[in-house]
Structure 1
Amino acid sequence: MSSPVPPISESGLPEGWEIRQSRSRNLPYYHNPATGESLWEPPANTDTEKLKTYMSKYHSKASVPPAPPSTNGEKIRASHLLIKHKDSRRPSSWKEKEITRTKEEALSTLLGHEARIRSGAMSLGEIATKESDCSSARKGGDLGYFERGVMQKEFEDAAFALKPGEVSHVVETSSGYHLIERTA
């Protein structure tokens, strides 16, 4: 990173944890060198408000990896906006230690975001950076390139059905509710 990163103590992470960058996903993750444990979601006892501020300031929109050498139509690139609810398979995120909203509240929130995207008021990436419950929020929701068999089936089917530049309507998976934008 080009800008200096403040001490990890300002991140809100518990003692012994640090933030690293995944080479394969080009996303930050949480690592504890003493235990060898790595997590995509913040560890227990994280001050999520401090972490949210720290991550949005120092780990947002990391550099975008180049396209793979040959896509042959088998790989696509997409971004998404995920809103989780209390019945999601992992009801926590980088923003909230415990998500308590109902499915109905999550759907209503996502429909509001969809309306703003379709009206042109904001892009999916702009909203994802602040509102998505996925760690990809730090990259404007960018998931990079992926092929079939990598994502959840409902997500994958919707993403592969889109043309580059198109945004899906609401897609439900066990993770929560998504809006997906195919970017390549």
Structure 2
Amino acid sequence: MADRWAGWEIRLSTSRGVPYFFNTEAKKSTWEPPEDMTEEEIKQLPGAKEYLKGEGVQGGVHAGQVRASHLLVKHRDSRRPSSWKESVITRSKEDAIELLKEFQAEIDGDPQKFAEVASQESHCSSHSHGGDLGWFGRGQMQKPFEDATFALEVGKISDIISTESGVHLILRTG
């Protein structure tokens, strides 16, 4: 393997239960393989045999997984009715849905606009990444969220989805 990939290895995320790429020298982690790394080079990384389920990234790291971004609006009956945006959330679920409908109209199916609105308006900490939640598999998200995400085509945005966390718009990105 080329020296340019020295320090890279594959580890298993304890929070998500999925593999990720880690550079031990730079102390940098990423869900995506380093740019320009081939499938063959990925298979040679330390940890590849232990954590990749199949052949490289397509059949391994992300097999059976989806990637999505979301825009979350919490309401007073949410599991945790507070966020980075509002310390105490008092709106009703109906008001949260109306607010999300306004965002939905503003986004109008545009993934770039989705990221912009999510970064400013989402009550999830993923707002700092345009709503990106990264890759996840079955059993890692609340069931209504998971079902909606797996049912979406890549590049499509869901209708309003309700979970214990609040109400969401979901953009499937992978």
TM-score by length of structure 2 reads 0.65
Q: Secondary structure of 1:146's partner?
A: strand
Shift of 1:102: 1.1
Match in the other structure for 1:166: 156
d(CA) in 1 for partners of 2:115 and 2:30? 13
Matched, 1:152 2:118: no
Deviation per residue, 1:33-87 (Å, 9 max, x gap): xxxxxxxxxxxxxxxxxxxxxxxxxxxxxx9641683256401100000000011
Moved over 4 A (4+): 119-122
- Taking structure 1 as reference, are residues 72 and 99 closer, same or farther at Cα in structure 2, changes over 3 Å only? closer
Residue type matched to 1:170 in 2? I
Unaligned runs of 5+ in 1: 1-22, 26-62
- Taking structure 1 as reference, are residues 121 and 147 closer, same or farther at Cα in structure 2, changes over 3 Å only? closer
Match in the other structure for 1:53: none
The structure richer in helix per residue is: 2
Match in the other structure for 1:180: 170
Matched, 1:66 2:56: no
Match of 1:84 among 50, 74, 78: 74
Conserved 8 A contact 1:116-1:122 = no
Q: Secondary structure of 1:178's partner?
A: strand
Match in the other structure for 2:23: none
Match in the other structure for 2:106: 116
Shift of 1:116: 1.2
- Taking structure 1 as reference, are residues 103 and 168 closer, same or farther at Cα in structure 2, changes over 3 Å only? same
Q: What pairs with 1:1-184 in structure 2 (closer than 5 Å)? A: 65-66=31-32, 69=57, 70-71=60-61, 73-118=63-108, 120=110, 123-184=113-174
Larger Rg: 2
The aligned length equals: 125
Give the % identical residues.
Answer: 51
TM-score by length of structure 1 reads 0.62
Q: Secondary structure of 2:84's partner?
A: coil
- Taking structure 1 as reference, are residues 105 and 129 closer, same or farther at Cα in structure 2, changes over 3 Å only? same
The RMSD of aligned alpha carbons is: 2.4
Conserved 8 A contact 2:81-2:88 = yes
